[in-house]
Amino acid sequence: MSGTPRPLRGMFGGTFDPVHNAHLRVALDIVEAGALEQLHLVPCHVPPHRGDPEVTAAQRLAMLELAARGEPRFRLDDRELRRDGPSYSVDTLRTLREDYPGDHLCLLLGSDSFVSLPRWDRWQELAVHAHIVVMRRPDHPLELPPPLTDWLQGRETADWAALRGEPAGRVLFQDVTPMAVSATDIRARLADGRSGRYLLPDAVWDYIRDNNLYGAGGYAG
Ligand code: ATP
């Protein structure tokens, strides 16, 4: 059922290890496509099974802060880092709803994250708190597992207005600028003595190099 249109606020979570131009560009694509009032960039705790993080949470946050500067609709949000241990997106969304009771929320997921959704804690509850916007990644074709195809029935919409008119529960697939950039690839390049320039904002690259992150300290450029 459609109600009075509300402001639309997005949540974009990630490890951002490091944040790169594809994160920023696709985030802006979504802000523009949906005319979002604000998009929260939410760095998560790195789960232990990912292996030892090479940089601290404070450094990931600092890079995100440098990256988000200059785009007023991006909002750096460290709420997951302020809680001890890993936090689940469903809990993070609940706290956002408490903070912004007048807004509707949408959770941004790349297509790789969306197909992994059935492995997330209380994943079906996500749609109680927010809409889900899936960003189609060229490097990750959408192959939906059966629980997701069933769950999608009746939820899919191509109309951004539905996300303002209904409180939660819709799924919208949005094409975004194809950019096959990943943090994994950037870390590998840096470990290999190559440059990260032009894959991340200049300020982030300078920070990485100046702080000798990911083995990039010896780089002169
Ligand atoms: P890693 O390579 O370390 O797994 P990543 O570059 O995929 O990292 P994450 O921080 O894990 O970045 O991703 C945060 C979110 O950004 C995820 O939803 C992911 O799908 C999305 N994302 C990352 N890179 C891209 C890209 N090139 N295009 C579209 N979405 C992306």
Nearest alpha-carbon partner for 25 in 180, 214, 197: 180
pLDDT at 47: 64
Q: Which residue has the tokens 């079906």?
A: 124
pLDDT at 1: 56
CATH node for 8-189: 3.40.50.620
First vs last Cα of the chain: how many Å apart?
A: 56
pLDDT at 7: 95
Q: Whose CA is nearest to atom 20 of ligand 1?
A: 110
pLDDT at 53: 63
Report which residue type is found at 157: T
pLDDT at 66: 98
Report which residue type is found at 13: G
Question: For ligand 1, what atom is nearest to the CA of residue 16?
Answer: 10
Q: Which residue out of 11, 12, 15 has the highest number of ligand 1 atoms within 8 Å of its CB and is therefore the one to mutate?
A: 15
d(CA 124, CA 101): 21
pLDDT at 68: 96
Distance 146 CA to ligand 1 centre (A): 23
Distance 183 CA to ligand 1 centre (A): 7
**DSSP states along the chain:** ---S---EEEEEEE--TT--HHHHHHHHHHHHHHT-SEEEEEEPPPPGGG---SS-HHHHHHHHHHHHTT-TTEEE--HHHHSSS---HHHHHHHHHHH-TTSEEEEEEEHHHHHTGGGSTTGGGHHHH-EEEEEEBTTB-----HHHHHHHTTTB-S-HHHHHHSSS--EEEEE-------HHHHHHHHHTT---BTTB-HHHHHHHHHTTGGG-TT---
pLDDT at 142: 84
Q: Which residue has the tokens 């639309």?
A: 8
Nearest alpha-carbon partner for 3 in 160, 164, 128, 159: 164
In this prediction the ipTM stands at 0.96
CA dihedral sign, ordered 200, 43, 92, 40 = negative
Written as tens digits, the pLDDT of the chain (221 aa) is 578 899 999 999 999 999 999 999 999 999 999 999 999 999 998 765 666 667 999 999 999 999 999 899 999 999 999 988 888 999 999 999 999 999 999 999 999 899 999 999 899 999 999 999 999 877 777 889 889 999 999 999 999 999 999 999 999 999 999 998 999 999 999 999 999 999 999 999 999 999 999 987 666 56
| Residues near ligand 1 (Cβ within 6 A) | 14-17, 22-23, 26, 109-110, 112-113, 135, 137, 176, 179, 181-184
d(CA 6, CA 149): 28
pLDDT at 180: 87
